[in-house]
Structure 1
Amino acid sequence: MPTVAPLDLEGHCIAAVFLGGVPHFALADGTIHRLDHGHKTLAVHDGLLCATLDQSGSRLITGGEDGRICASSGDATEVLAEAGRKWIGSVACGPQGAIAYAAGRSAFVRFADGRTREFQHPRTVEGLAFSPKGMRLGVARYNGVTLHFPATDGKPAELEWAGAHTAVTFSPDGNFVVTAMQENALHGWKIADGKHMRMTGYPAKVKSLSWSAKGRWLASSGAQAAIVWPFQAKDGPMGKAPLELGTRGNAMVTCVACHPSQDIAAIGYDDGMVMAVRFADTKEVLLRRPGKGAITAMMWDDEERRIAFGAETGDCGVIDIAG
């Protein structure tokens, strides 16, 4: 039977991650909390807006309302860059220690040696993601995605689709790029030929995306079930119906986190419930009963037995699925 170790905090949880096996929770008030032989707190930002793990999994990279981009681990915080008075709306981590961040209409890439490159856009940069293959940065913007090659002076590639694109992700094999849109939909492109993929029918905005272990599936929030699109075929999910996992008639899925090695997803709901569901047979296991607010962040640990979670109300904790 799964057990839950609760951590009752105050405020919206932006990220719940494991750093070196230690659960960390980044809150919108700018604090990072960790459960490391007791509850410890680190004040990092004057208002925290976004957070992600670096590719080594050893630092939490955050951006804030204070215009700073910070790297935190344990009790230590390093300011990596500053953007003046502009809010940092998105951060992403890439290969060779590269970090990208967005401020207004500009996307910046900071290389491991401290060099920074700026890429300007006609409209606000809404989301950032690095491709898993090579040094390529995807920028979600109004009417599509721009693909930059930060290490070269080559011209960027433009992927167009009308509407506001608010988040971006690459498939683990680097063949597809998918965005969440301001309308209740996802949109995707096959990078090789620019073919479009329309993924519609959501009753709410998609706020959470997670690729399965081998990139065969893309799980998403925004409905009464986790909507899981198949990406095994060369043209992705076109012409194929998604899986609907963990359907609940009276609750919306607000967060998804795929298992590190198996086709299983942890699914968080707007009432604080967390469930694990297997793709093959839709078998469900209740991991956490409803709590005080919507689940906004989740991550599995490297040992595949614990899940850190956070909610919009500061209702956080760690689920041990082995009990």
Structure 2
Amino acid sequence: MPTLAAADVSGFVVRAGFLHDTPYFALGGGEVVFLAGTQIRAAAHRGGLLAADERPDGSALVTGGDDGRVAEVRPDGSVAVLSERPRKWIDLVACGPSGAVAFASGRTAFVRLSDGKEKEFAHARAVGGLAFAPKGLRLAVARYEGVTLWWVNTQGAPQQLDWPGAHHAVTFSPDGKYVVTTMQETALHGWRLSDGQDMRMTGYPAKVKSVSWSVKGKYLATSGANAAIVWPFFGKTGPMGQAPLQLGARSDSLVTAVACHPKEDVAVVGYQDGMIILCRFSDNAEVLMRRPGKAPVSSLAWDRHGLRLAFGTEDGEAGVIALE
């Protein structure tokens, strides 16, 4: 049976996860809490913490806040300010290869390179989401009416992927073949990069706020319905013409967070009432990981071994669930 160890945190959990084997909880109040034997609290921001992303090597967490700071937080509690935009809100951050960090405020996206130099990428409308490609220093910027793809180290014109509507979070498939966005409307939109082919994924009763790629990128799990909607991305046409899996269906609560396992075709599903279950893709078998709590699950993440799960909710319930 799974065992749960609660964490002593408070407020909205913006992101829960692991840096190597150390659990962390990035909190809306500006702190990052690490569970390293004892709790280590790092004051990342003077105001609210709005966004967080992990370095690809697991060495640190990069955060953005309403104090205009981009901060790097390490498990020992040390905090370094990477960049600062006074009187701006940094509500989007993304970590990329070679030490690159992207962040955004308003209509401008910035990339800070490992040597400290920064590059600006201006857009006609507000930036909705950021993501680095799995290979090469390429940045996807979600925006109104589509996505712009920038090669960070070149001066050439960016690639434009257009589709009507407001696009928010953006993600590359692990193999780099697809780009997918969540939208202001209750839908996803995707593009196959080889030829720009559009992919529409609709039918959600609520906005999609959480997405997670399965191991090897065969599936994309999403929130926004009364089950985790899991789109197949194998074959030449991706999800087009294929019905999605529906995992952990419930009639009384919407899915608010999803996280695919790093080694197996299973996913954890968090709900509006705080419940968390583990679902297997092949037969939809379920294991209860956490009973309903006081608030919606806001973040879920596996450790690198797939043996522990960090979770957080909108009102500060948080902890680590171990499968062993």
Q: TM-score, normalised by structure 2?
A: 0.98
Please show how residues 268-283 of structure 1 align to structure 2 within 5 Å.
268-283=270-285
> Does structure 1 retain, via aligned residues, the 8 Å contact 2:257–2:271?
yes
Q: List gaps (5 residues or longer) in structure 1.
A: none
Kindly provide the amino acid, as one letter, of the partner of residue 35 in structure 1. Answer: L
Quote the residue 1:52 is aligned against. 53
Quote the residue 2:28 is aligned against. 28
CA-CA distance at 1:9 after TM superposition? 2.3
CA-CA distance at 1:304 after TM superposition? 1.3
Please show how residues 204-283 of structure 1 align to structure 2 within 5 Å.
204-283=206-285
CA-CA distance at 1:289 after TM superposition? 0.6
Output one character per residue of 1:34-80: Cα deviation in whole Å (capped at 9) or x when no partner.
11122221111111000010111110000000110011002101100
Match of 1:138 among 137, 140, 143: 140
Q: TM-score, normalised by structure 1?
A: 0.98
> Does structure 2 retain, via aligned residues, the 8 Å contact 1:89–1:126?
no
Kindly provide the amino acid, as one letter, of the partner of residue 64 in structure 1. Answer: G
Partner Cα separation in structure 2 for residue 304 and residue 39 of structure 1 = 22
Question: Is 1:69 aligned to 2:63, yes or no?
Answer: no
Please show how residues 274-293 of structure 1 align to structure 2 within 5 Å.
274-293=276-295
Match of 1:80 among 79, 82, 92: 82
Kindly provide the amino acid, as one letter, of the partner of residue 41 in structure 1. Answer: R
CA-CA distance at 1:317 after TM superposition? 0.3
> Does structure 1 retain, via aligned residues, the 8 Å contact 2:145–2:164?
yes
Partner Cα separation in structure 1 for residue 16 and residue 224 of structure 2 = 20
Count of residue pairs the alignment pairs up: 322
Partner Cα separation in structure 2 for residue 128 and residue 273 of structure 1 = 29
Q: List gaps (5 residues or longer) in structure 2.
A: none
> Does structure 1 retain, via aligned residues, the 8 Å contact 2:20–2:303?
no
Partner Cα separation in structure 2 for residue 280 and residue 292 of structure 1 = 31
Quote the residue 1:167 is aligned against. 169
Partner Cα separation in structure 2 for residue 116 and residue 135 of structure 1 = 14
Quote the residue 1:151 is aligned against. 153
> Does structure 1 retain, via aligned residues, the 8 Å contact 2:2–2:289?
yes
Output one character per residue of 1:291-312: Cα deviation in whole Å (capped at 9) or x when no partner.
1111111111122110000000
Partner Cα separation in structure 1 for residue 131 and residue 19 of structure 2 = 20
Quote the residue 1:14 is aligned against. 14
SS of the counterpart of 2:167? strand
SS of the counterpart of 1:96? helix
CA-CA distance at 1:8 after TM superposition? 4.1
SS of the counterpart of 2:7? strand
Measured on the aligned residues, the alpha-carbon RMSD in Å equals: 0.8
Kindly provide the amino acid, as one letter, of the partner of residue 167 in structure 2. Answer: H
Q: Percent identity?
A: 56
CA-CA distance at 1:19 after TM superposition? 1.3
TM superposition outliers: structure 1 runs of 4+ over 2 Å: none
CA-CA distance at 1:178 after TM superposition? 0.1
Question: Is 1:188 aligned to 2:194, yes or no?
Answer: no
SS of the counterpart of 1:214? helix
Quote the residue 2:115 is aligned against. 113
Output one character per residue of 1:75-101: Cα deviation in whole Å (capped at 9) or x when no partner.
101100112211012101111111100
Partner Cα separation in structure 2 for residue 57 and residue 35 of structure 1 = 15
